[in-house]
Structure 1
Amino acid sequence: MSGFGRPRRFGVCAASVAAVAMASAMSACSLLPGGSSDDSSAPRNVSTYDEAQDAKAKAPAAAVQDARSGGTLHVLSSATPHTFDPTRVYHLDTLAIMRMVTRGLTQTKYVKGKPVLVPDLATDLGRPNADFTRWEFTLRDGVKYEDGSPVKAADVAYAIKRQLAQDELSGGPTYGLDYYLGGDSYKGPYKSGDDFEGVDTPDEKTVVVKMRKPFPSMRYYTSLPTFTPIPKAKDTRDDYGNHPLATGPYKFGSYDPGKKLVLVKNPEWDPKTDPNRHQYVDQMVFDFGLDTNEVQRRVIADKAEDQTALTYADILASNYDEIRGTDARRRLVTGPSPCSNYMWMDTRKIPLEVRRAVARAWPLTSENRAGGEIPGLTWRPATTIMPSATPGWQDFDVIGNKGEGDGDPAAAKKLLTDAGQLGFELSFYYSSDDELEAKIAAVRKKALTRAGFTVKTMAAPSSLARDLSDDSIRPANLRQGSWCMDWASGDSVLPAILDGKKADLPGAPVPSFLDVSAVNDEIDRISDLPAQKALTAWGQLDKTIMEKYLPAVPLGEGGTTVLHGSRVGNVIIDSVGGMPDFSQVYVR
């Protein structure tokens, strides 16, 4: 999944906490650096634990201690979502919001601070065959849409077919292209009709998904909103994201795209069908496109309506310094995040030797200072594409900067000169109405110019930032982004963002546009391996890609910080989603 905000198709970061499903017990795994309240830098430490699963988790969820019902939660965001279509949402913030509105087949619940995969719309975690090429799910009784109509298996099947309509619904997860039987040829219901061999519905409660190769991680994939049921008759295509049909505890009350979303209680949601979510607040009001510093200053001040507000952008260093030792510091919740950040280089336009020069010149220290990052809390160095918490991750440093520092402009200029590319033009977009983005853009332009590049910065409003990032034909040859593991395995990283067979798809799912048969073939080979054997192979492929092709400059891993008002209770960070779990929050 993608990040958000100031680099989110990337913006926050670190590594997801759902574990890869192993070929037998489907448990296992290593994961995220734990949250911390101090600022000490922890550059490469990886903690491990066993990922739990509870296929028999009971509904309703146990009440949150001291929780109250009623009131309005105000969510203040500097990010600007570009869609709420459940097939297309794939940024941390929109995923977190949609988990309140829509329901997948499975979901993550936190038990004593640890993530546990539990059923959602399904009665269990899915029933695979011996080689994980067939998965069967049974829907719960009593689940309804916001209009009172019942959820049917055919609606889940239609949602699965919709995932493959890449020409019309770009930007969402693309695992179906890789795994579903027929997923490499079926073009979605709009172009290919309803006849898709990858999914069957033997009755109104049963969904059977068939694969053309083993997919042991399927039960994690089904936790994403892209599996929320959508009745074919209610699919309004381009307009569906303006009011997706709710199955969760909240539904759209009103939506002003790019500016404000109001969620209100969904009276048709039955807590007896949901082992995790709650419905404490009367409504949630999301304001988008706000200034990061202004929002944080408001929540720190804790006045009037802002006492019932929270914001999830990385806390700025200046504001963090100010709240040390104050009551506001106790209102800052910190934890891990599932993302790594990158500057992707368009390999169609930038030759390899020039890419090496870009990497040598990159001003990591200065851009982090300009962006208000806090080492050890909101930022940690990275030298790889796979997050360091990925099982099978290998520690290597192809660029030779240890993931930090301000680059070596003299060495970069020599590389350009030797390649006959002195003055090579680099171009990138930045959000002109975001003060921090403008500062970072200026730092980058200065450093790259010193290294012998010609640099073209292109200003655009933040409301267009995600669309520009997702557009493969825009003139920029540098694209900032992040990738957040959907589950803890290399098969939710490298195939998703570096399989060249998807390089020309709408939505730029391969942001470097790297399309090399040796890489594509190796991705296919590793995908066919047993899960345990694949772990090491993904790490080796990561190293090979960086050594031979260098499609990106790793910008760092990070953490999640949520600052909230004094009347907001039970703020829990979803370490799988890198966001607050809105389903657990209440207002005093």
Structure 2
Amino acid sequence: MRETTRRRRFALPVVVALLALVAAACGGNGGNGSGGTTNDAAFDPNDCQGGTLQVLNQRDITHLDPARLYTSGGGNIPSLLFRTLTTRNREGGAEGTKVVPDLATDTGKPSADAKTWTFTLRDNLKFDDGTPITSKDVKYGIERSFAPELPGGAPYLRDWLENAAKYQGPYKQPEGIKAIETPDDKTIVFKLRKPEGDFPYLATATQFAPVPKAKDTGTKYENKPVSSGPYKVESYEKNKLLVLTRNEHWSRDVDPERLACPDKIEITSGLDAAVINQRLSTSGGDDANAVTTDTELGPSELARVDSDPNLAKRVAKGHFPYVYYIAFNPKVKPFDNPKVREAISYAVNRQSVINAVGGTALADPATTYLPTQKSMGHKDYDHFPAGETGNPTKAKEVLAEAGFPNGLTIPLTHTTDKGAGNGPEVAAAIQDALKQAGITVQLNGLEDEAFNGTVEVPAKSPGAALFGWGADWPSGFPFLQPIFDGRQILAQGNYNIAQYNDPEVNQEFDDIAKLTDLSAAASRYGDLDEKIGELALTVPLYHGKDLALFGTNVKNTFVSDWTGKYDLAGLSVK
């Protein structure tokens, strides 16, 4: 996931003590990360139709064209409009990391070598204009995503499909992609150039949404997209208001994953974060029917939770799979010395880092690169055990072994974006902790564009930088391979900061990709994470949590570990 500075509103350290109470309030009845729901006593999925759901956001949706959206699992707002071959399981917690059928009848039938995947569409699928959805519509929707006129979608298919790397989309090459076959209106077949056991996860991406060729208007398609989901666009004023109403040609009979309870959904964007949280806290008038999909709790809301148990019940808690860490470039001295990297691993005070980002309600300490999701293959290890507050004495011992008995000075590059997980607050906490071990840290703050243009370019990449990484889907593949596969080292936009290139590890990625048993693949990714962790190429700092308020009338606010958010398609306001 190319979001190296994931935005987060951090609480002030003075309310850290209160955050533990928020965490407790979010358990059980608080919409938690283990399948819990909120206000469920009055929720009946068979009697939840009606009302208008209000969505209060800071940022507008980037595009309304499925080819230009970079989402997996159906996304959140996109999932209301666009169905894909597969999607995420609409349940809370870990159950939400499972991939399930959407337009297709199953999650795909692989060939023995996992290089051919076949999907069969459900019966009675229709667009919002009543025309049938066919496999050819899915194929055409995918082909559009290759058009240079429609950038922004996930890049995997260009690499995965057989002989598709140079395809320029249907406007320039109407003959289409030969590696995608549609032998009949219900069947679609994908031929890959190498085994890809994660293909069912990729098929959740919005590129797999069907688009009717007759209604395609190229770059103007997003002005009036044709819906395959439970809602359609009634009106749209960019950066202000998107209004969605029911698609009368959709029903739960052909879509068991989306409840689609509200009759209408109004998505207001361009709001200030403090205003959003205040409106959700007060929950007056229409705001009682409101949620947000991009604004987390701020300091004032966290403080109020301590004295307002009713407000605590309206906090949804999620765990989007994301890790913040120190990334080393061993090609730069002294980070070429493994003992130096190990010493820093012992010296880091994770508790001070967590305090800097808002406390234990917003972050969990991380000693592993992989987040804790079972679907990723997480293994609980700590190669450099130093407790949550670090071990400067052990760090000094290891530093002496490295040849620096009197300490050393190192640079640390970070973004200047306050509130980002790799921003100045975290950098200062690391600087203070390493000082206790005799390591002087010289901070180098860069604005986002300069940060990415430096850290993600191997020729310029510094010896140490604060970085963050999230998975495009909850599997070990998109979390580990871009960071540790030597074949993924790029001249620009490079995320393998260590420029790590081990042929055995590269081969292990290929071998795991052959597995179509996702549980077996997850176990192998966990083993690989543990093996790479011994090299101290990174210092995992923390895995983020997500806390968001919702209005008093909103029900069924479960949170999945795929998105870290509640699912708009499952909410009720009646």
Larger radius of gyration: 2
User: Which AA in structure 1 matches 2:277?
Assistant: Q
Contact 1:338–1:576 (CA under 8 A) maintained in structure 2: yes
* C-alpha contact (below 8 Å) 2:236/2:242 kept by paired residues: yes
Per-residue deviation at 1:481? 2.2
Q: Which letter maps to 2:526?
A: G
Tell whether 2:131 aligns with 1:143.
no
Local SS of the residue matching 1:455:
strand
Q: Matched residues in 2 for 1:476 and 1:255: separation? A: 42
1:329 aligns with 2:321: no
1:562 aligns with: 548
Q: Which residue of 2 aligns with 1:456?
A: 444
Q: Are residues 1:222 and 2:203 paired?
A: yes
Distance of aligned partners of 1:449 and 1:124 in 2 relative to their CA distance in 1, 3 Å threshold:
closer
What SS does structure 1 have at the residue aligned with 2:76?
helix
Indicate yes or no: 2:373 matched with 1:393.
no
Structure 2 counterpart of 1:581, one-letter code: D
Which residue of structure 1 lines up, in the alignment, with residue 191 of structure 2?
210
What SS does structure 1 have at the residue aligned with 2:103? coil
2:382 alignment partner AA = D
Partner of 1:198: 179
TM superposition shift of 1:103: 0.7
- Aligned 8 A contact 1:445 1:455 in 2: no
Instruction: Read off the aligned partner of 1:405 and give its amino acid letter.
Output: T
List gaps (5 residues or longer) in structure 1. 12-34, 41-45, 49-61
Distance 1:240 1:466 in 2: 34
1:194–1:571 distance in 2 versus 1, CA, 3 Å: same
2:354 pairs, out of 368, 374, 382, with: 368
Q: Give the Cα–Cα distance (whole angstroms) in 2 for the partners of residues 352 and 256 of structure 1.
A: 53
Aligned residues: percent identity?
Answer: 27
Q: Is the aligned partner of 1:181 residue 2:168?
A: no
Contact 1:84-1:94 within 8 A present in 2 as well: no
Corresponding residue of 1:538: 525
Q: Which residue of 2 aligns with 1:447?
A: 432
**Superposition pairs for residues 563-578 of structure 1, below 5 Å?**
563-578=549-564
Q: How does 1:54-73 map to 2 (within 5 A)?
A: 64-73=45-54
**Mapped pair 1:383 → 2:363:** no
Residue 265 of structure 1: CA displacement?
Answer: 1.5
SS at match of 1:320: helix
In 2, the alpha carbon distance for the partners of 1:568 and 1:371 equals 28
Which of 531, 534, 539 pairs up with 1:547? 534
Confirm whether residue 152 of structure 1 aligns to residue 140 of structure 2. Answer: no
On the 8 A contact 1:479/1:511 being kept in 2, the answer is no
Measured in 1, the distance between the counterparts of 2:458 and 2:222 equals 24
Match 1:299 to one of 273, 280, 287: 280
Structure-2 separation of matches of 1:235 and 1:505: 35
Q: Distance in 1 between matches of 2:226 and 2:309?
A: 43
- Inter-partner Cα distance in structure 2 for 1:585 and 1:4: 30
Summarize deviations over 1:501-558 as a string: whole Å, max 9, x none: 23328755656654444432331233235746644432232123222361x3323234
Partner in structure 2 of residue 103 of structure 1: 83
Question: Which has the larger displacement, 575-584 or 525-534?
Answer: 525-534
RMSD across aligned C-alpha pairs, in angstroms?
4.7
- Is 2:58 the partner of 1:74? no
Aligned positions of 1:169-568 closer than 5 A: 169=151, 172=154, 174=156, 176=157, 179-182=160-163, 185-187=165-167, 189=169, 194-231=175-212, 244-252=225-233, 259-260=239-240, 262-267=242-247, 269-271=249-251, 272-277=253-258, 278-287=260-269, 290-291=272-273, 295-312=276-293, 313-316=295-298, 319-324=301-306, 325-334=308-317, 336-343=318-325, 345=327, 347=329, 350=332, 351-353=335-337, 359=345, 362-373=348-359, 375=360, 377-390=361-374, 392-402=377-387, 404-405=388-389, 408=392, 411=396, 418=404, 423-431=409-417, 440=425, 443-444=428-429, 446-447=431-432, 450=435, 451-459=439-447, 477=462, 478=465, 480-484=467-471, 486-487=473-474, 489-504=475-490, 508=494, 510=496, 514-528=500-514, 531=517, 534-548=521-535, 550=537, 552-568=538-554
Residue by residue over 1:282-310, the C-alpha shift from the partner in whole angstroms, topping out at 9 and shown as x without a partner, is: 1231425733x553343223234432222
Deviations 1:313-344 (A, max 9, x none): 4445763353245211121233x424131236
Change in 2 beyond 3 A, CA 1:447/1:98: farther
- Write out per-residue CA displacement over residues 389-423 of structure 1, whole angstroms, 9 at most, x where no aligned residue: 33643332234345x33674974987998499955
Q: Contact conserved, 1:333 with 1:571, CA < 8 A, in 2?
A: yes
Alignment match, 1:27: none
Match of 1:17 in 2: none
Alpha-carbon separation, structure 2, partners of 1:348 and 1:194: 47
Note the C-alpha offset of 1:571: 1.9
Contact 1:67 / 1:586 at 8 angstroms: preserved in 2?
yes
In structure 1, what is the Cα distance between the partners aligned to 2:336 and 2:271?
A: 36
Aligned match of 1:121: 103
Q: Deviations over 1:153-203 (max 9, x none)?
A: 2332234445667997456262x46654346x4555378774534311112
Gap regions ≥5 residues in structure 2? 11-21, 28-32, 36-42
TM-score scaled by length of structure 2: 0.74
Contact 1:133–1:215 (8 Å) recurs in 2: yes
Deviation at 1:578, TM superposition (A): 1.9
Q: Provide the TM-score with structure 1 as the length reference.
A: 0.73
C-alpha deviation, 1:5, in angstroms: 7.5
